[in-house]
Amino acid sequence: MQHADNLPQVTVIFGTRPEAIKLAPVIHRLQKEPRLVCRVCVTAQHRQMLDQVLEAFSLKPDTDLNLMQPGQTLGQLTARAIEALDGYLATEKPDLILVQGDTTTVFCAALAAFYHRIPIGHVEAGLRTGNLQSPWPEEANRVLTSRLTTLHFAPTETARQNLLQEGLPDRQIFMTGNTVIDALLWMRDRLAAKGNHAVLLNGLGINPDFARDYLNGLEKSDSAKGGRKLVLVTGHRRESFGAGFRNICQAIRALADARPDVGVIYPVHLNPNVQAPVNEFLGNHSRIQLISPVGYEQFVWLMSQSHFILSDSGGVQEEAPSLGKPVLVMRDTTERPEGVQAGTCRLVGTDPEKILKESMLLLGDAGEYARRSRLSNPYGDGRASSRIVWHCLQFLGLGSDHSAAAVPQQRAE
């Protein structure tokens, strides 16, 4: 269907903080493209955390469905999202929708678009663990989305092979690299231009003594030579709720107790299943700072200041290697095996003994730390967004040059 100025329309749909981060560079690139109209629709599956990213990347949605409700179940969210997106697509009638990743918003948008016979482009397609229970419900969301998708933008060769093994046509799969690297490098350059990073501490609620010892001026010190070291923690996976999170918290506290030179900073996810054990086990330690979720700009800065990162986040596994930061992945499986294979990430699960052992290795063995911090990032070169937009233009019949040489190639890692 032709839209404003008689141009085809691409609508980007997302609802959570990680989706917004990874789609921001794609949206920026689409908005610069004169041959199409780009529209942005958010479900606000995450409200506060989503708004932080929208502001950080100067994004203003054309449509905000504002679906977030306190205490919502997955079934309730799914029902409301499909109904709202069905009405939105019936009115907008885009020529192509883009979704990213594996959230409830992704699956609902893909299903609603399928019902309207609108082609779907899936950014970060092909990630798999092979276990529908881990991560839950994300593995099911991405598997189901792949069956409805027209354009599969696989971030790595492993992801591409996963899709091929499931019988998806090779002609519809495009290896692009991961857009999170585009977003990270954009934000890194923005931070470098600002210069005064201390201002990023404002409003985080960090104890002044902790900030003095582990943040202010940390970038000027050499933590590898025995100075104070900052460990950044993130955790939110549903499969770890309960005993898993208690084990994680016990390991973090044991680490802080064992190493007086270590400070831990943990932006705590808003989910009560995360908040309760984290506050119970970690809330009264002078060298553990529990803070509210931070904006992406602040989070990139905290990553850059850390010695290493403890996380169950997929995005962190992809981002941290570009900053030279090893990641201990607090999961038993990962749909991002490239980082584990490259050595930038190591699976530690929720076993407190393993978490502590691997943390102590990175803190105590300077040679091992240096080796792992210098490994190249297997997830991309910062040009994924350009590749995705190029393939969208070809699909919509807007590309003037169909030669292979015209596509910015994904660098072999």
* Residues assigned a catalytic role: 102, 124, 138, 236, 238, 269
Q: Which residues of 201-234 are buried (b: 16+ CB within 10 A; e: fewer)?
A: beebebeeebbebbbeebeeeebeeeebbbbbbb
| Amino acid in the structure at residue 150 | T
> Please, what is the end-to-end C-alpha distance for the chain in angstroms?
40
The span from the CA of 9 to the CA of 16, in Å, is 22
Tally of CB atoms within 10 A around 364: 10
Cβ proximity of 111 and 149 under 8 Å? no
How distant, in Å, are the alpha carbons of 4, 117, 196, 296, 399 from that of 1?
10, 12, 48, 36, 18
- The residue type found at 132 is L
Task: Output phi, psi for 151, to 5 deg.
Answer: -115, 120
